[in-house]
Structure 1
Amino acid sequence: MAKYQNLVDQLKRQIQSGIWNSGDKLPSLRKQAKHSGMSLMTVLHAYQLLESQGWIISQARSGYKVAPGLKKQEQTQVAVARTESVDINEFIFDVLQAGTNNSLVNFGFAYPCPDLYPRYHINRALSTAALNMQTSNAFNNLPPGNEQLRSIIAKRYAARGIEISLDEIVITAGALEALNLSLQACTQPGDCVVVESPTFYGALQSLQRLGLKALSVRTDPISGIDLDSLERALQTHDVKACWLMSNHQNPLGFTLSDEKKKQIVELLQRYEVSLIEDDVYSELYEGEEPVSSMKMYDQTGSVMLCSSFSKSLVAGLRIGWVVAGKRSFDIQKLQLMSTLATSAPVQMALVQYLTHRNYESHLKQLRKKLHERKNKMASFLGSLLPDNVNVVNQKGGYFLWLELPQGSDAMLIYREMLQKNVSIAPGKMFDLTEQYRHCIRLNASFELLPERIEALEILATIIIKHINGTLVHKSTNEKLK
């Protein structure tokens, strides 16, 4: 197929799916040529063909625009939503604070069930590290961090086919610090940052704290972020960074295909946009084959790969890292100006555990239990809920995503569940629009003991009551009309 025809087909598909709407201005010939790798004449040929077919129109000194009156396919999600000022922290804080009540049955919990952690062995490692710690250790663990720990991390990536030097790795106080430092290294207040829609609420909080603008890009629960919508965002905004999860995304649970990971990296490198890869769930895959990271396809050092031991080993240690590529030194300087360094005793304790304990054996058991518990909970919910509630259960990770009928309000369900001493994570936590107000995220890492079975039965009952109430209300309105 000729190059111009590829561009014609791409733009038709994007217009039909609502990525470009009637009246939208298309990228200029020069800009389209630069980022597509096509010649100016090839792009001009494609635009002229689209114009002759009635898809776009040309205007003197204004370039090309999507023709008025074109019908797009029905979409439930907006392709790209720009938010000038992120303001979500207070709401998320309220939800998280409500979940700290120990009397709650907490399906809104962000971490795996604590009984899955090797607490005894971790405590032994902490004791050993404390006993052996010398004064010089505090200096040896300053940025970029403990050399032995960085070596262990690098070797683990090498086993997955990702070649990383020790100099690229900076140890941080958890993954969130790694992600925040990465954002600071490539943005200034007021810059645009691409995030998934829906996305991890911590990303939204970080954007708010740093005074950044969010570009929420349409994301499918099965296949992940929509590449056409992502390119539309890059074409129409001066994007400085892109924060994405490639494996077992929170909240949807999908894992991007290797081909899509590669395409995303290549696309962002064409537009010279930094990629911040939030990869905290990569150890929680199902089966024997580990998942890859987008960092594997990085040819320019512009991908910053962030992860931690919080989801795979123990949450309370707060040890993460960023494989920072060409920005390693910048991130070290930023860390010295903020937290100074990551806890030296905890870094040493992790070296002790990872050197003398069978971490792989722990991970194997962790993956097996998460798989069993998540599938059991998904099956149980499926038996309780009506067909118009979609229980999204992806391979790996430990989250389930519930999609209620459009028009449902998960916030009402959330508040009613709190009164029943049960916590859930409403979809509003994961987006800056109202697109996911009908959705709920559930933590499925806990064993289904009687109190949890009862809590799920209560949840299903309230969801059904809410849906039926919504349907009655709509029917009443129709009768009144």
Structure 2
Amino acid sequence: MAKEILYLKIANTIQEQIFSETLKIGDKLPSIRALQKLHNVSLNTIKQAFLELESKSLIESRPKSGFYISKTSNRKLSIPTMNKFKLSGKQITSDDLITKVFESLKDKSVTRFSIGVPDPSLLPIAKLNKGLMKVVRNLEESGTSYEPVQGNVNLRRNVAKWALVLEGKLTEDDLVTTLGAMNAIYNCLLAVTKRGDTIAIESPVYFGIIQIAQNMGFNIIELPTHPTTGVDLEALKKVIHKIDVCCFMSNFSNPLGSLMPDENKMELVKMLTYHNIPLIEDDLYGNLYFGATRPKPCKYYDEAGIVMWCGSVSKTLAPGYRVGWVAPGKFKDKIIKQKLAQTICLPSLYQEVIADFLEHGRYDHHLRNFRSTLYTNSLHFQRTIEDHFPENTKISQPQGGSFLWLELDKKIDTAVLYDKAINQKIGFAPGKIFTQHDQYNNCMRLNFGLEWKEKVELDLKRLGQLVKNNL
């Protein structure tokens, strides 16, 4: 009885510190061993106290990192509203705004909340350079020869071995290498569609998907997407008879950060298999999970070969290497023929560097550190937004990835706000570039894949003040 009271007493002390904001969201708790010595109790007593706090969602465990004050412990702001179904209405193009956002990247003094790539300071550049020198020395003819059209054998073997989340369902022969994930998606669309077909996508969605679909002459259906659980499958059922292909990001979507539950993934694959509709799955952020395990892709549930699983290292390791891949299922032969016609093959050097990085465990080690940084960053961002943006701001609650989606007061036009922010050397991605319809004008996407430092925190606070000034 005394022991029970003791662990509750310790748990209540920590709980009071959380509620008084002595301990803030994202703060790391002392280790179990450190608290054991502090309170002069057994390790088991501290573990029981932590279990009590976890059961109330006040703290959460990070693998290999420790315990942190949970983002749900004192959440003040609501999540964004789910969009309405829009099958008609004037379609708009945001190409000029997208160009403007990318043009801002030339100015190194701009804080890049806008672009969806990790800050170089978070990447193992020195180790990659070391790997590059090793590959140049050891690769036959220093990488100047053609390689198989299907792609670098060493890379395909290591991606297949590394993709343990698929539990051995993938071999090197199932994969085709590509110039990043967008090239993989383009090749998938080319293999299974023709001009005039209808594609179903999430909404909001990464603007590159809209640009590809428009350039290829597709009819686009944007499906309502929940900020937490992803695509609304009931909405998809209503228009399934119109759909020729689906392109979804089931794990930590861009820009919402939503994660489709496993049961939804199973239902989605079953539905599309029944209707023989290909699913292009962009699993670019699947490795950037904040929980204990990597979520399975839809590909895991695919028995008929209709899921075309796309991935790359562009958001986790080396954006400029342009190393990606696709497991195209029953469409593999068509993808390989297209690749032969387009590029013959891809450069060997960077593929070999990534293969080497995968093979010797360096990628796993990097990802553990990177995920920990991203998770802590997401909490820093959320706490700063809660404290310095208007009280009616709505903010997503991603369980992985590197983006936050903000819904602001309807008076705010983030396309207009963008120009004012850029003048203050602050970049973000305006909401209207993530749709082909007239919506999300009061929304923005922020990239938290930056090094959290004083300037970044100050600029996020300044952005909040800018929003307040424009109400």
Corresponding residue of 1:174: 180
Query: Which amino acid letter does the alignment assign opposite residue 210 of structure 2?
Result: L
Q: Does 1:266 align with 2:270?
A: yes
CA positional deviation for 1:455: 1.2
Work out the CA distance in 1 between the residues paired with 2:394 and 2:118.
Answer: 23
Query: SS in structure 2 opposite 1:128?
Result: helix
2:195 counterpart (189, 208, 213): 189
What are structure 2's unaligned runs of at least 5 residues?
1-80
Q: 2:371 is aligned with what amino acid? A: R
After TM superposition, the score normalised by the length of structure 2 is 0.79
1:94 aligns with 2:100: yes
List aligned pairs for 1:201-350, cutoff 5 A: 201-235=207-241, 237=242, 239-350=243-354
Retained in 2: the 8 A contact 1:417–1:459?
A: yes
Q: Which has the higher contact order (CA 8 A, sep 6+)?
A: 2
1:390 is the counterpart of 2:394: yes
Q: Could you tell me which residue of structure 2 aligns to residue 445 of structure 1?
A: 449
8 A contact 2:85–2:223 mirrored in 1: yes
Provide the rounded CA distance (Å) in 2 between the counterparts of 1:84 and 1:265.
Answer: 31
Residues 82, 215 of structure 1: 8 Å contact kept: no
Give a deviation string over 1:6-32, Cα, whole Å, max 9, x none: xxxxxxxxxxxxxxxxxxxxxxxxxxx
Q: Report the CA distance between 1:144 and its aligned residue.
A: 0.8
Report the counterpart of residue 426 of structure 1 in structure 2. Answer: 430
Which residue in the other structure is 1:458 paired with?
A: 462
Alignment of 1:117-128 (within 5 A): 117-128=123-134
Q: Which residue of 2 aligns with 1:163?
A: 169
How far apart are residue 136 of structure 1 and its match? 9.5
1:142 aligns with 2:148: yes
Does the 8 Å contact 2:202/2:224 carry over to 1?
A: yes
Aligned with residue 116 of structure 1, among 112, 122, 125: 122
Contact kept in structure 2, 1:427 and 1:437, CA below 8 Å? yes
What are the superposed Cα offsets for residues 246-296 of structure 1, whole Å, 9 maximum, x if unpaired? 111100011110011111111112222110000000110013211100001
CA distance in 1, matches of 2:296, 2:327: 14
Q: Which amino acid aligns with 2:366?
A: H
Match of 2:321, SS? coil
Q: Which residue of 1 aligns with 2:417?
A: 413
Which amino acid counterpart does residue 96 of structure 1 have in structure 2? F
Cα distance, 1:135 vs. partner? 4.0
Q: Is the 8 A contact 1:377 1:448 kept in 2?
A: no
CA distance in 2, matches of 1:449, 1:93: 28
Q: CA 1:437/1:343 → structure 2, altered by over 3 Å: closer, same or farther?
A: same
Residue pair 1:86, 1:207 contacting (<8 A) in 2 also: no
User: Alpha carbons of 1:92 and 1:339: their partners in 2 closer, same or farther (altered >3 Å)?
Assistant: farther
AA aligned opposite 2:176: V
- What is the rounded CA distance, in whole Å, between the counterparts of 1:152 and 1:213 in structure 2? 37
How far apart are residue 450 of structure 1 and its match? 2.2
Q: Which residue of 1 aligns with 2:71?
A: none
Question: How big is the shift at 1:140?
Answer: 6.1
For 1:388 and 1:220, locate their aligned partners in 2 and report how far apart those are by CA, in whole Å.
19
**Structure 1: tracts of 5 or more residues without a match:** 1-74, 468-481
Query: Could you say what secondary structure the match of 2:305 adopts?
Result: coil
Letter in 1 for 2:327: V
State the partner residue of 1:355: 359
What is the CA distance between 1:375 and its match in structure 2? 0.7
Report the TM-score when normalising by structure 1: 0.78
Deviation at 1:357, TM superposition (A): 4.7
Structure 2: how far apart are the matches of 1:454 and 1:137?
46
Q: In the superposition, relative to structure 1, how do residues 82 and 146 fare at CA in structure 2: closer, same or farther (>3 Å)?
A: farther
Match of 1:402 among 397, 403, 406: 406
Aligned-partner residue type, residue 260 of structure 1: N
